[in-house]
Amino acid sequence: MNNIDRLHSPKVMKDILSKYGFRFSKGLGQNFLIDGNILDKICDGINLGKEDEVIEIGPGIGTLTQALAERSKKVVAIEIDKKLIPILGDTLSSYDNVEIVNSDVLKLDLNELIEEKFENKKVKLAANLPYYITTPIIMKLLEDKVNLESIIVMVQKEVAERMQASPGTKAYGALSIAVQYYCNPEIVTIVPKNVFIPKPNVDSAVIRLDVYDKPKVKVKDEKLFFNVVKGAFSHRRKTLLNSLSASGIGVSKDQIKDMLDNLGIKENIRGEKLSIEDMGRLSDMIYELNNK
């Protein structure tokens, strides 16, 4: 295959899929991109340059991989489906800066992979994966503090909105805080259904996550912080006070009332109004109380 035969052309894609008798797997979330503009937006979105090194998860037939390879120094692409490996060998044959790893990303230690393939340098990560595993994978990358500069990922549109949401908006919740604790999220573009073959049921968005060197707020106990966040949003129609005291976090209603009072926060506030900084301060107060 010639690298001028752009895979995002539906005809080129259909020809290559029929050459290999490839059948899409719904379970593996195989919806392949057929829009060159979106590929450009993804590469521009992470400000990809010739010095950058990239991990791609879920290359499919290599559509985005080609774009990444042309604009960066090196790409290591991880694909679970062994039926795609010969296709990728074909579509990426003219790129000498691409390596394919046939593996399930959920079973890989990405820090080890970065050590082995990138000499432990900070890399950028691009992914377009089945949506039901995308959020858990992003959270695992962030929680494991994988050595990443930024992540650019295709997610369901509503999930992107929740990741980027600010306090007081409808989309703001535990996911917003969990993501914003580790990185700065920014929606790059909304992606309509018709730029994929086959067409998915939902609209998508490309979101960039710029990973902080240190979490956005410094808390005394990270595990407790995330439990407080979970507790604060566990009963969306209840006030923060009722939601937290019902969440089994081990503090009484009166104690939470005192803490909110100390923080200058009204006791009838709902969790969705609280900033990540306030949530951090509240969690530290609970920590102090539990460790007196």
Residues tagged in the binding site annotation for S-adenosyl-L-methionine: 31, 33, 58, 79, 104, 128
CB of 189 or CB of 242, closer to ligand SAM: 189
- Report how far residue 43's alpha carbon sits from residue 124's, in angstroms, rounded to the nearest whole number: 11
Measured from the CB of residue 12, what is the shortest distance to ligand SAM in angstroms? 12
Residues between 119 and 138 that touch ligand SAM (CB under 6 A): 128-130
- Report how far residue 67's alpha carbon sits from residue 43's, in angstroms, rounded to the nearest whole number: 7
CB of 44 or CB of 288, closer to ligand SAM: 44
Q: Which one among 48, 64, 68, 152 touches ligand SAM, defined by CB under 6 A?
A: 64
CA dihedral 124, 203, 190, 37 (to 10 degrees): 80
E-strand ranges in the chain read: 32-33, 53-57, 74-79, 98-102, 123-128, 148-156, 183-191, 196-197, 204-211
The contact mask relative to ligand SAM for 94-113 (x = CB under 6 A, - = no) is ----------xxx-------
How many other CB atoms are found less than 10 A from the CB of residue 252?
10
- Scanning 76-84, 117-125, 241-249, 280-288 for contacts with ligand SAM by CB under 6 A, the matching segment is 76-84
Picking from 138, 161, 148, the residue whose alpha carbon sits closest to that of residue 58 is 138
Name residue, tokens 């998508």: 204
Cis before 130? omega within 30 = no
Measured from the CB of residue 103, what is the shortest distance to ligand SAM in angstroms? 7
CB of 64 or CB of 219, closer to ligand SAM: 64
Picking from 109, 156, 148, 164, the residue whose alpha carbon sits closest to that of residue 129 is 156
CB of 201 or CB of 291, closer to ligand SAM: 201
* CA 189 centroid distance within chain: 15
CB of 106 or CB of 246, closer to ligand SAM: 106
Indicate the length of the chain as a whole number: 292
Verify binding: residue 284, ligand SAM, rule CB under 6 A. no
Q: Which one among 57, 75, 113, 159 touches ligand SAM, defined by CB under 6 A?
A: 57
Verify binding: residue 60, ligand SAM, rule CB under 6 A. yes
Binding site for ligand SAM (CB under 6 A): 28-33, 57-60, 63-64, 78-81, 84, 104-106, 128-130
